[in-house]
Amino acid sequence: MRATGLFGGTFDPVHVGHIELARHALEYCRLAEVVFIPAASPPHKSRKHLTAFHHRVAMLTLATEGESRFSVCEVEKDLPPPTYTVDTLNHLLQKNTCATEYYFIIGIDAFLDIHTWKEYEKVIGQVHFIVAARPGYTVSDLQECIASLHYQKKVDHWYNASSKRKIYYLELELADVSSTDIRKTAGSSTLPKDAIAPAVFKYIKDHNLYSSGR
Ligand code: ATP
């Protein structure tokens, strides 16, 4: 069965932490591909401060073009706002004839909020999760959350017997970088070059993005 990673996020902008995470997820779960899904109108982030969708797609395209197993999916562009993960997944998976297994890639910070997602039980019944470590969060935070979702510990993952879905934890030291930090730095001084791909750096400069430092 084909294994596809789905990596949702605002990617405002995409940075090296995102790309490292996608690469590790590819290898760790032997995914055939990772599809980046920029959020058009995420319910948990203020619309006012979001960079235009086409800019975020363009930056993602530049950051992923060196890896043939990466692609960018604009499915949320045509969905009514706000764009909830459950609706995006419904849209993407409706044509799946069970020939593909989907793995949702996510940082631990975002996963710990899963109880607040619209129809989160449906989401966790549809996809496996690959959860990545992030500074400031511990595996015990994750264990507590996973137990409340009725998953059992197995050797290298947690398993939910009724949905037959798994959760993997990538306990890696990924780049300690966030899009928030990049946006702030861009406004106050110079962009942190090593936190973003050179082509993305150039795109930000050329289009004068983040100059207000929000
Ligand atoms: P912001 O600072 O604007 O909240 P972000 O850097 O967290 O943005 P998002 O686009 O919101 O980036 O992230 C998409 C997904 O990638 C989320 O699940 C987030 O947890 C994860 N992620 C982002 N950066 C990292 C990182 N450095 N290490 C691990 N996971 C990350």
User: Bigger pLDDT: 212 or 33?
Assistant: 33
pLDDT score at 189: 57
Closest CA to 128 of 97, 100, 92, 148: 100
Q: Is 174 in the pocket of ligand 1 (CB under 6 A)?
A: yes
How sure is the predictor about 192, in pLDDT bands with cuts at 50, 70 and 90? confident
**99 CA distance to ligand 1 centroid (A)?**
29
Query: What does the DSSP assignment read for 46-97?
Result: -GGGPPPHHHHHHHHHHHHTT-TTEEE--GGGGSPSS--HHHHHHHHHTT--
Summarised one tens digit per residue, pLDDT across range 151-191 is 999 999 999 999 999 999 999 888 889 999 899 887 655 66
Between CA 4 and CA 35 the distance in angstroms is 7
In CATH, the number for domain 2-206 is: 3.40.50.620
Between CA 168 and CA 29 the distance in angstroms is 9
The fraction of the chain above a pLDDT of 90, given in percent, is 79
Residue minimizing CA distance to atom 21 of ligand 1: 107
Domain ranges of the chain: 2-206
Its pTM stands at 0.95
SS3 112: coil
pLDDT at 213 over 70: no
Mean pLDDT for the stretch of residues 189-194: 70
Closest CA to 73 of 86, 60, 62, 63: 60
Q: Which atom of ligand 1 is nearest to the CA of 176?
A: 27
**78 CA distance to ligand 1 centroid (A)?**
23
Half-sphere exposure of 148 (CA within 13 A, CB side): 11
How sure is the predictor about 23, in pLDDT bands with cuts at 50, 70 and 90? very high
